[in-house]
Amino acid sequence: MKTASRQARRPRTRPRANASAAVGRVLQTAASRLAEAANGELSVKSLHELRIACRRAEAALRLCQDAADCRAVDWLKRRLTTLRGACNEARDDDVLCKWVKHQGNSSTKSLCRAIRDHRAEVQPRIAELARRLTKKRRFERRSRRVVKQLRVCELKGQMARSFGQRLFDDVSRFVKSLPVNRDDSSALHRLRIIGKRLRYACELVTEICPDVALAELNEHLHLLQDRLGAVHDQIVGADRLRQRLPHRLARAARPLVRKAQETATRLQRKFWRWWQTYPLERMLADTTAEVVTLMSKNS
Q: Say if residue 263's pLDDT is above 70.
A: yes
> 298: pLDDT confidence band, cut at 50, 70 and 90?
low
pLDDT at 14 (0 to 100): 45
Average pLDDT score over the chain: 87
How far from 14 is each of 74, 139, 160, 206, 210, CA to CA, in Å? 32, 32, 13, 12, 8
pLDDT tens across 77-88, in order? 999 999 999 999
Question: To the nearest whole percent, how much of the chain has pLDDT over 70?
Answer: 93
pTM: 0.85
Length of the chain as a residue count: 299
181: left (phi over 0), alpha (psi -120 to 50) or beta: beta
Q: Say if residue 3's pLDDT is above 80.
A: no
- Domains, the chain, ordered by start: 18-295 (1.40.20.10)
CA 149, CA 172: separation in Å to the nearest integer?
Answer: 26
> 16: pLDDT confidence band, cut at 50, 70 and 90?
very low
Higher pLDDT, 213 or 226: 226
